[in-house]
A and B are shown apart, each in its own frame.
Chain A
Amino acid sequence: MSEIHMMIDGRQVKAEEGMTILEAARGAGISIPTLCHHEKLAPFGGCRLCIVEMEAQGRTSLVASCVYQAEDDLIITTRSEKIDRLRKVILELLLAHAPDSPQLQELAAEYGADRDKFEQEASFCVHCGLCVRYCAEVKQLHAVGFIDRGIRKEISFLPEIAAEECNDCKECFPLCPTSYLQAAFVLVESMAFPRGKAPRA
């Protein structure tokens, strides 16, 4: 496997072919914030927090580092006034949904995001898709999925599968950056599990 040489925040960084910019950076101890990234899962590119500035062939552009593949001679900047501003807005948008998420609060402190910037609509889910993708890609169970589209999109357990599989697994619970996933599970467990599988009252 050939070695890739690139520059991240002024440092020479080596990467292997097939690695993303994010993996190369983290490998070199450079931190880039993420919400929807998980090392066991295929790159998703949903939260956009990992956005970085990339200079290649004299052109500068913004790319999501979790999906963009490392290439020779890339010059990457992981923090700038603009990047910080974009991350701040993304965090503020998410804080409207999950104002008390510890992970979001930590990032908010770092980027100066105001949790009350937007009218709160505490739906708690930030649509990172970690639960959905973990269940599909790692467990291959598809017990939880996305339903609907756009601003109406939400996660939903499939009672028939969840009743059989979830109680012994629950590996997705700690992945959730809010705690909405547990709530969604408890709700579907009590409302829609087939007879005999629901928790005792």
Chain B
Amino acid sequence: MTRINSSVELEKIRQRILSERNPDAPCITVCAGTGCLASGSRDVVAAFKHELDTQGLEVEVGFRGTGCHGFCEKGPIVVIDPEEICYLQVTADDVPEIIEKTIKGNEVIERLLYVDQNTGEKAVRESEIPFYKHQQRMVFGANRRIDPKSFDDYLAIGGYRALIKALFEMTPDEVISEVKDAKLRGRGGGGFPAGAKWEIARNAPGDTKYVIVNCDEGDPGAYMDRSLMEGNPYGVLEGLTIGAFAIGANEGYVYIRQEYPLALENLTLAIDDAEKRGLLGTDILGSGFDFRVKVHRGAGAFVCGEETALIISLEGEVGEPKPRPPYPAVKGLWGKPTNINNVETWANIPLIINEGGAAFAAIGTEGSKGTKIFSLVGKIANTGLVEVPMGISLRDVIYKIGGGIPDGKKFKAVQTGGPSGGCIPEERLDLEVDFDELTKAGSMMGSGGMIVMDEETCMVDVARYFIDFLTDESCGKCVPCREGLRQMHRILTKITEGKGKESDIEILEELAETAREASLCALGKTAPNPFLSTYRYFKSEYEAHIKEKRCPALSCRKLVSYFIDPEKCKACLICLKECPAGAINGAKKTIHIIDQEICDACGICFEVCPSRFEAVTRISGEPVPPPIPEDQRTVIRKSKRT
């Protein structure tokens, strides 16, 4: 591998790579992102390699293990180009057949195709699948087209064009003004205009400046930054290098979660590789611009995603937020002007430089431009990562892309913005997803988490769960967050246990105000959102818990009793055998009874009772009927009665 000394040389290499590739030749792409790896794509990759090798097809047929494609629900995913044939839930056993039929025989294997659950229609191409059809994958789309460990692949899709343009055709100020024209807002949660932030760092006095990639993604269920870093590390590095050039930084850091080993591996490889090729280091592409990148692994504290805490942690101290101002753009890492953006923000930069700020700003809403990647999880048919233009409705994301709620259940709420986001109900589903609209609805964009909840989710318990998470992750420095959340968690727990008082709501509101107004950092300021938004939209659930000691979703364990309907029980012994508490009395041909004194409401009897009987019912807020007298418990089967 030789150093590339000029943009001309780089373009020559690109041309050579492209000329060696036949766009019409078949190429098999297997998703090897974290989701698909978990569902077995490592075996699928090995099976393809083995099969291509033994059949002598490795030259004729292209093969690529890539980062996440997004449709994690249906992994492992295989896409065969150029026809873009998409096979879902592929196993290693399917591989010989795919080679035989699809690669050699040009035949589509029907059973591996996507089937629409409602219409029964099949989709052959990836872009015909509703999950993909309604997305706009400007940033995330590259994942499917490259092997994240291959520099050649990145060049082949136009990689480093933006860096060349920035280094040789633009001044740093022009780069900043392009980012400002794009009206790009930070994707990490704050939504601060990236261009303005860059400008402050550029104009801040001092010769030493830093740029940082925040890859400390910590929201439960969120993995968009992880997937970008795993799937396209060169793209993130290119964005970062452009930012460093614009701001005047010669050193950059990637702060990456310890829990992201694959992202770390691919990033480290990309940094090494870029250094050897002269795309990082001294005199990049002969431009005279020097830029080096170091990697720092976070130790797992959620609060270190907050920029001041991240910087302190990078300096080697305990990760606790510092008051702002001074802002990092003026006084950041080791007291120097520092620009910190999250992975997705950086990944948008090459796109903006290539296409121009105006083109970028043509997408989205008045206040939020471009696209946003969301991790769509929870009670949703199509779990996965989706990239959509700002301004799309929540309803479209959940129903058109997400395929709605599984098992015929009813939608209840969608929680956006991570643990300190809020829950948005059915009646607000038509809101246009952007920074400002989500905030107005009492939630936030955050880094792009989207957790869908169905009718069986108790909203008081949801608030309790997220406040519990935040209590655990509070750094403990300031009182409104540390102590306020502790008390909020305690009160919410009491309410879910049926020990709530009417005065509790007032105290919760007081604590919420104190945390929101007086906390030191954004973690504490937004932490009351789970309570505030659920109380705003689902007040009746709080009232039912407090006044009637009833959980309307039949979910809070302390408020739910289980009862076997004697009319329906067929004395099948299943629940009796499964009950871990030994709370069920009965015998063969003797109707089963739950001893309420022993029962601890685990719900296993409810789950195991055969659906043709449905004898176990859940009761909340009313007394459990007395057990049927012992002399009436014998089951008389219909057949024997006649």
Footprint of B on A, CB under 8 Å? 43-48, 51, 62, 64, 67-69, 82, 85-86, 89-90, 93-94, 96-97, 117-119, 126-127, 146, 148-153
Q: Is the CB of B517 within 8 A of A90?
A: no
Q: Is B476 located at the chain interface by the 8 A CB criterion? A: yes
Can you give 13 A-B contacts (C-beta < 8 A)?
A48-B518, A64-B323, A64-B518, A86-B514, A89-B480, A90-B479, A90-B483, A90-B518, A93-B479, A93-B487, A96-B487, A150-B475, A151-B482
Q: Is B165 located at the chain interface by the 8 A CB criterion? A: no
Closest residue of A by beta carbon distance from B477? A46
Dominant SS among interface residues on chain A: loop
Q: Is the CB of B474 within 8 A of A151?
A: yes
With the chains together, A118 CA to B131 CA distance in Å? 49
Q: Is the CB of A153 within 8 A of B482?
A: yes
For chain B, residues 443 to 491, give those with C-beta under 8 angstroms from any C-beta of chain A: 471-480, 482-487, 490
- Kindly identify which residue among B301, B325, B485, B518 contacts A69, using a CB–CB cutoff of 8 Å: B325
Cβ of B511: which chain A residues have Cβ within 8 Å of it?
89
Cβ distance B362 to chain A, nearest Cβ, rounded Å: 31
- Kindly identify which residue among B323, B474, B485, B490 contacts A67, using a CB–CB cutoff of 8 Å: B323
Q: Is the CB of B490 within 8 A of A119?
A: yes
Closest residue of A by beta carbon distance from B321? A45
Cβ distance B309 to chain A, nearest Cβ, rounded Å: 11
Closest residue of B by beta carbon distance from A117? B507
Cβ of B484: which chain A residues have Cβ within 8 Å of it?
89, 93
Q: Is the CB of B478 within 8 A of A89?
A: no
Q: Is B519 located at the chain interface by the 8 A CB criterion? A: yes
Cβ distance B468 to chain A, nearest Cβ, rounded Å: 11
With the chains together, A85 CA to B520 CA distance in Å? 17
A69-B325, A93-B484, A146-B318 are known contacts. Are A127 and B479 too (CB-CB below 8 A)?
yes
With the chains together, A82 CA to B483 CA distance in Å? 19
Closest residue of B by beta carbon distance from A48? B518
Cβ of B219: which chain A residues have Cβ within 8 Å of it?
none
Cβ of B541: which chain A residues have Cβ within 8 Å of it?
none
For chain B, residues 500 to 551, give those with C-beta under 8 angstroms from any C-beta of chain A: 507, 510-511, 513-514, 517-520
Cβ of B510: which chain A residues have Cβ within 8 Å of it?
85, 89
A149-B476, A151-B476, A153-B482 are known contacts. Are A48 and B323 too (CB-CB below 8 A)?
no
With the chains together, A40 CA to B244 CA distance in Å? 38
Q: Is the CB of A45 within 8 A of B520?
A: yes
A46-B520, A48-B519, A149-B301 are known contacts. Are A127 and B476 too (CB-CB below 8 A)?
yes
A93-B484, A146-B318, A151-B486 are known contacts. Are A46 and B478 too (CB-CB below 8 A)?
yes
- Kindly identify which residue among B323, B474, B483, B518 contacts A94, using a CB–CB cutoff of 8 Å: B483
Cβ of B485: which chain A residues have Cβ within 8 Å of it?
151
Cβ distance A50 to chain B, nearest Cβ, rounded Å: 10
Closest residue of A by beta carbon distance from B520? A45
With the chains together, A97 CA to B318 CA distance in Å? 24
Q: Is the CB of A150 within 8 A of B518?
A: no
With the chains together, A47 CA to B479 CA distance in Å? 5
Extra A-B contacts (11), CB below 8 Å, given A48-B480, A127-B482 = A45-B478, A47-B478, A48-B478, A64-B323, A68-B325, A85-B513, A86-B513, A89-B510, A89-B513, A90-B480, A150-B472
| In the A-B complex, the 5 residue pairs with the closest CB atoms | A153-B476, A93-B483, A67-B323, A150-B474, A89-B514
Closest residue of A by beta carbon distance from B319? A149
Cβ of A119: which chain B residues have Cβ within 8 Å of it?
490
With the chains together, A118 CA to B487 CA distance in Å? 7
Closest residue of B by beta carbon distance from A151? B486
Cβ of B473: which chain A residues have Cβ within 8 Å of it?
150
B293-316 contact mask (Cβ, 8 Å, vs A): 1 or 0? 000000001000000000000000
Q: Is the CB of B323 within 8 A of A96?
A: no
With the chains together, A150 CA to B517 CA distance in Å? 19
A48-B520, A51-B518, A86-B513 are known contacts. Are A149 and B483 too (CB-CB below 8 A)?
no
Q: Is the CB of B517 within 8 A of A62?
A: yes
A46-B478, A47-B478, A48-B478 are known contacts. Are A68 and B483 too (CB-CB below 8 A)?
no
With the chains together, A82 CA to B263 CA distance in Å? 46
Cβ of B518: which chain A residues have Cβ within 8 Å of it?
48, 51, 62, 64, 86, 90
Cβ of B480: which chain A residues have Cβ within 8 Å of it?
48, 86, 89-90, 93
Cβ of B486: which chain A residues have Cβ within 8 Å of it?
151
Cβ of A146: which chain B residues have Cβ within 8 Å of it?
318, 476
With the chains together, A45 CA to B486 CA distance in Å? 19
Closest residue of A by beta carbon distance from B474? A150
With the chains together, A148 CA to B301 CA distance in Å? 11
Q: Is the CB of A64 within 8 A of B520?
A: yes
B161-184 contact mask (Cβ, 8 Å, vs A): 1 or 0? 000000000000000000000000
Cβ of A48: which chain B residues have Cβ within 8 Å of it?
478-480, 518-520
- Kindly identify which residue among A89, A94, A150 contacts B471, using a CB–CB cutoff of 8 Å: A150
With the chains together, A117 CA to B507 CA distance in Å? 9
Cβ of A118: which chain B residues have Cβ within 8 Å of it?
487
With the chains together, A149 CA to B260 CA distance in Å? 22
Cβ of B323: which chain A residues have Cβ within 8 Å of it?
43, 45, 64, 67-68
With the chains together, A68 CA to B473 CA distance in Å? 26
Closest residue of A by beta carbon distance from B324? A67
Closest residue of B by beta carbon distance from A119? B490
Cβ distance B108 to chain A, nearest Cβ, rounded Å: 54
Question: Which of B471, B473, B479, B480: most chain A Cβ within 10 A?
Answer: B479
Question: Which of A46, A96, A127, A149: most chain B Cβ within 10 A?
Answer: A149
Q: Is the CB of A90 within 8 A of B514?
A: yes
Cβ of A64: which chain B residues have Cβ within 8 Å of it?
323, 518, 520
Cβ of B520: which chain A residues have Cβ within 8 Å of it?
45-46, 48, 64
Cβ of B475: which chain A residues have Cβ within 8 Å of it?
149-150
With the chains together, A2 CA to B502 CA distance in Å? 55
Q: Is the CB of A96 within 8 A of B483?
A: yes
With the chains together, A146 CA to B480 CA distance in Å? 18
With the chains together, A110 CA to B472 CA distance in Å? 32
Cβ of A96: which chain B residues have Cβ within 8 Å of it?
483, 487
Cβ distance A21 to chain B, nearest Cβ, rounded Å: 12
Closest residue of B by beta carbon distance from A121? B486
Question: Which of A46, A64, A68, A97: most chain B Cβ within 10 A?
Answer: A46
Closest residue of A by beta carbon distance from B326? A69
Closest residue of A by beta carbon distance from B483? A93
Cβ of A97: which chain B residues have Cβ within 8 Å of it?
483
With the chains together, A55 CA to B480 CA distance in Å? 22
Q: Is the CB of A150 within 8 A of B490?
A: no
For chain B, residues 340 to 393, give those with C-beta under 8 angstroms from any C-beta of chain A: none
Closest residue of B by beta carbon distance from A67? B323
Closest residue of B by beta carbon distance from A152? B476
With the chains together, A149 CA to B479 CA distance in Å? 13
With the chains together, A97 CA to B482 CA distance in Å? 12
With the chains together, A152 CA to B475 CA distance in Å? 10
With the chains together, A97 CA to B323 CA distance in Å? 25
With the chains together, A69 CA to B519 CA distance in Å? 18
Cβ distance A71 to chain B, nearest Cβ, rounded Å: 10
With the chains together, A68 CA to B323 CA distance in Å? 8
With the chains together, A94 CA to B487 CA distance in Å? 11
With the chains together, A53 CA to B301 CA distance in Å? 31
Cβ of B301: which chain A residues have Cβ within 8 Å of it?
149
Cβ distance B121 to chain A, nearest Cβ, rounded Å: 51
Cβ distance A175 to chain B, nearest Cβ, rounded Å: 17
Cβ distance A149 to chain B, nearest Cβ, rounded Å: 6
Cβ distance B510 to chain A, nearest Cβ, rounded Å: 6
Cβ distance A182 to chain B, nearest Cβ, rounded Å: 22
With the chains together, A1 CA to B483 CA distance in Å? 40
B121-140 contact mask (Cβ, 8 Å, vs A): 1 or 0? 00000000000000000000
